[in-house]
Amino acid sequence: MKNNKIREIILGKPLDPMKSETRHSMALVAFLAWVGLGADGLSSSAYGPEETFRALGGHTHLGLYMAIATAATVFIIALAYNQVIELFPTGGGGYRVASKLVGPYLGLISGCALILDYVLTIAISIASGVDALASFLPLGFQPYKLWAEVFFIGLLIVMNLRGLKEAIQILLPIFLGFVVTHLVLIVYGIFAHASHLPELIPTTVAETTDLASHIGWAGVAGMLLLAYSQGGGTYTGLEAVSNNVNLLAEPRVRTGKVTMLYMALSLAFTAGGIILLYLLWDAQPVAGETLNASTFKTIIASMGLGGEVVNQGLLVVVLAFEAGLLFVAANTGFLGGPSVLSNMAADSWVPHKFRYLSTRLVTQNGILVMGIAALAILWWTGGSVTLLVVLYSISVFLTFAISLFGLVLYWSRNRKKGTQWKRRWLLSALGFVICAGILVVLLFEKFADGGWATAAIIAAMAVFCFYIRKHYRETKQAIHSVDEVFASQPFGPNQEPVEPNQDDQTAVFIVGTSRGGGLHALLWVQRMFPGHFKNFLFVNARTVDSHAYGGEGAMEQMRTEAAETLEFFVDFCHSHGMAASSYLGFGTDAVEEVTRLCEEISREFPHSIFFTSKLIFASDNWFTRLLHNQAALAAQRRLHLEGLQMVILPMKV
């Protein structure tokens, strides 16, 4: 009880998953989705444009091409991903696209890349945010940046364990502060140089022609392509909406498209505008400062709003909002990562426990794994944003390329009139060429600088997932063979229902989806205790996981399937003249719900003994314990503490 009270103080009171108003109150409208999911994309303007501009070296005049290319690429990827929202309105994004349109194994690669993408979203956003804060602190703060990053990740873990909307509503003022301050700085910074704008294009073209005369047009193209690819981090986050459509308010597809429009407009303007500011204000790197910080400092000083103290104060406000937005973006990793893990768990690529919801209706296991993995990567890289951007960009563009290739295949196969398939095919193909090109350049140029690590991590994850799915498949086949053995059990001749008597000896069976497992337990009890039990009750406590909670239709389907399974056991008993009844419960914790139902039954039927089955593997090790919950043992312990008798029957597979 004490532990539950502490948990409630930290995480909040439990929510009822079966109430439709709970689902509706947690669903995100387009504006809140823009805050919670779009922050990932918008925050990349804090490091993506800087990496692009630095890659140009001394040829900064090429920044104009980069600004235009950046804005255009944002819209191309966003429009292509609108198709993903249409085709997969239940979420899953790149993982679902690859699995359904290309194949399960490329889907696995895409899913692993997405998980790494979201882990790196957390890591790079926190690292870049702390860098922004450190830009107006003394250089002596630098050694403590890593500890600050650990603190902020811990804070976000707790916020997300409390629930989705609470985290977003707390971060909303920060998001709006970033939008307003950066909008003012970009607009002022461009118009302050309005007199230079007419000559900007002719000057850029002349300087580019002069550069080409020295290194050739192929050299210029290579330089542009490298800078364009190294700024690939700018486009990260655009996939967040398609991965989390299930979190959006109805109508989900329309809400998703509006959210994507907000994201594309804000990111294209901010990222393209910042590159233009670098060009117009002749941005130069300063030790201990980000390029944004040094550029914004120059722009604020030129406004003439006050003395040095006022200017420094305004810069602190701007950088604080920038850091804040990066922390909001890190929060996207805690939304998207668990969602991908949940979808992969539904397909048995990762442990099924990643589908389970906490009392606050969040995928607690996924949140913890994402946070711990992000901490590990931050320690390994030392919080280096340059290295994290390489890892991040490769994982993101691998997912982009696979997803857009899937869309190309889809429209190639579905060339129906009235679907505008040609326009959609061309858009998907253009997006695929861009993303695949960036991926190839990054792998080639940055393989030795960290690209190998991304490839190694994704490959290791894929191999581990393959073995997990193999185990689940073998277990499912074994359970199916048990079901087939007991499927031949004949029903008796009796047609009339037999009602249980509260004063009789009662056998209560905690059953799941396997009819064979339930019949195995029933027949074992009858064989071991012939004629002793007169009542036979069946209990099914279904776990409301993230897959079932994705929509009311899924919840109703789960309820129907559970009721049919219980009805089968009751009808079987009635046909043999045995008194029987059933109890059905739903909750986020199967053990909690089983305990509640069993306590209720024991009050109604005081002479009850509880039975359940547990899978026994020939080789029980950490791997099997990781993949299968120990619900039977946990339920037995809880019931024993309540003074109730429970027997676990082994079922070897």
Domain count, the chain: 2
DSSP, collapsed to helix, strand or coil, labels residue 274 as helix
Q: Is 15 a domain residue?
A: no
Higher pLDDT, 323 or 21: 323
| Residue where the block lists tokens 């001394």 | 58
Q: Is 30 a domain residue?
A: no
Higher pLDDT, 562 or 111: 111
Structure confidence at residue 618 as a pLDDT band (50, 70, 90): low
Tokens linked to 288? 């201990």
Q: Is 70 a domain residue?
A: yes
CATH number at residue 110: 1.20.1740.10
pLDDT at 553: 56
Look at residues 167, 224, 215 and name the one whose alpha carbon lies nearest to residue 36: 167
Judge if 373 and 427 occupy the same domain. yes
Residues 457-472, mean pLDDT to the nearest whole number: 91
Q: What is the mean pLDDT of the chain?
A: 79
- pLDDT of residue 536 exceeding 90, the answer is yes
pLDDT at 458: 93
Cis? peptide before 202, omega within 30° of 0: no
Q: Looking at 468, 498, 516, which one is the last position of a domain?
A: 468
DSSP, collapsed to helix, strand or coil, labels residue 488 as coil
pLDDT tens readout for residues 9-28: 444 455 444 444 444 443 45
Judge if 229 and 290 occupy the same domain. yes
- pLDDT of residue 420 exceeding 90, the answer is no
Q: Is 6 a domain residue?
A: no
The long-range contacts involving 215-222, CB below 8 angstroms and separated by at least 24 positions, are 220/62
pLDDT at 466: 92
| Residue where the block lists tokens 């442990």 | 351
Cβ neighbours of residue 190 closer than 8 Å, sequence gap 6 or more: 197, 273, 276, 277, 280
- Cβ contact 363:547 at 8 Å: no
- pLDDT of residue 514 exceeding 50, the answer is yes
- pLDDT of residue 588 exceeding 80, the answer is no
- Cβ contact 39:325 at 8 Å: yes
pLDDT at 507: 92
Judge if 620 and 508 occupy the same domain. yes
Q: Could you tell me the maximum CA-CA distance found in the chain, to the nearest angstrom?
A: 100
Between the CA of residue 216 and those of 53, 64, 208, what are the distances in Å? Answer: 21, 19, 10
Alpha-carbon dihedral 233, 237, 242, 246, rounded to 10 degrees: 150
Per DSSP bridges, beta strands 506-510 and 579-587 are unpaired
Judge if 543 and 614 occupy the same domain. yes
pLDDT at 199: 80
| Residue where the block lists tokens 């910074």 | 189
Higher pLDDT, 202 or 620: 202
Among the residue ranges 114-123, 273-282, 643-652, the one predicted with the least confidence is: 643-652
How far apart (Å, rounded) are the C-alpha atoms in residues 245 and 253? 7
The most confident of 7-11, 121-125, 246-250, by mean pLDDT: 121-125
Residues 511-521, mean pLDDT to the nearest whole number: 80
What's the pTM value of the predicted model, to 2 decimals?
0.73
Q: Is 4 a domain residue?
A: no
- pLDDT of residue 211 exceeding 70, the answer is yes
Residues 89-97, mean pLDDT to the nearest whole number: 73
Q: Is 9 a domain residue?
A: no
Length of the chain (residues): 653
Judge if 113 and 243 occupy the same domain. yes
pLDDT at 463: 94
Judge if 502 and 553 occupy the same domain. yes
Sequential DSSP letters for 528-552: HSTTT--EEEEEEEEE--TTGGG-H
Higher pLDDT, 282 or 631: 282
Judge if 205 and 326 occupy the same domain. yes
Judge if 426 and 500 occupy the same domain. no
Cβ neighbours of residue 586 closer than 8 Å, sequence gap 6 or more: 17, 18, 541, 542, 544, 558, 559, 593
- pLDDT of residue 238 exceeding 90, the answer is no
Judge if 452 and 557 occupy the same domain. no
pLDDT at 461: 93
pLDDT at 79: 87
Scored b (16 or more CB within 10 A) or e, 38-66 reads bbbbbbbbbbbbbbbbbbbeebbbbbbbb
pLDDT at 629: 60
pLDDT tens readout for residues 40-79: 778 788 777 888 888 887 777 788 888 888 888 888 888 8
- Cβ contact 522:548 at 8 Å: no
Judge if 206 and 262 occupy the same domain. yes
pLDDT at 544: 59
- pLDDT of residue 522 exceeding 60, the answer is yes
Look at residues 553, 554, 471, 568 and name the one whose alpha carbon lies nearest to residue 511: 568
DSSP, collapsed to helix, strand or coil, labels residue 289 as coil
pLDDT tens readout for residues 136-189: 676 666 677 888 888 888 888 887 777 655 555 666 788 888 888 989 999 998
Structure confidence at residue 462 as a pLDDT band (50, 70, 90): very high
List strands edge to edge, sheet with 506-510: 579-587, 535-543, 506-510, 608-616, 646-652
Provide φ and ψ at 357, rounded to 5°: -100, 150
Residues 336-360, mean pLDDT to the nearest whole number: 75
Q: Terminal CA-to-CA distance of the chain, rounded, Å?
A: 37
pLDDT at 36: 65
Cβ neighbours of residue 501 closer than 8 Å, sequence gap 6 or more: 534, 535, 579
- Cβ contact 69:310 at 8 Å: no
How far apart (Å, rounded) are the C-alpha atoms in residues 71 and 78? 11
Share of the chain above pLDDT 70, in %: 83
CA 353 to chain CA mean position, Å? 15
Q: Is 234 a domain residue?
A: yes
Residues 577-594, mean pLDDT to the nearest whole number: 81
CATH number at residue 515: 3.40.50.620
How far apart (Å, rounded) are the C-alpha atoms in residues 334 and 33? 14
DSSP, collapsed to helix, strand or coil, labels residue 90 as coil
Judge if 120 and 54 occupy the same domain. yes
Structure confidence at residue 109 as a pLDDT band (50, 70, 90): very high
- pLDDT of residue 361 exceeding 60, the answer is no
Q: Is 33 a domain residue?
A: no
Q: Which domain holds residue 547?
A: 489-652
Structure confidence at residue 546 as a pLDDT band (50, 70, 90): very low
Look at residues 288, 176, 227 and name the one whose alpha carbon lies nearest to residue 64: 227
Judge if 558 and 462 occupy the same domain. no
Provide φ and ψ at 164, rounded to 5°: -60, -60
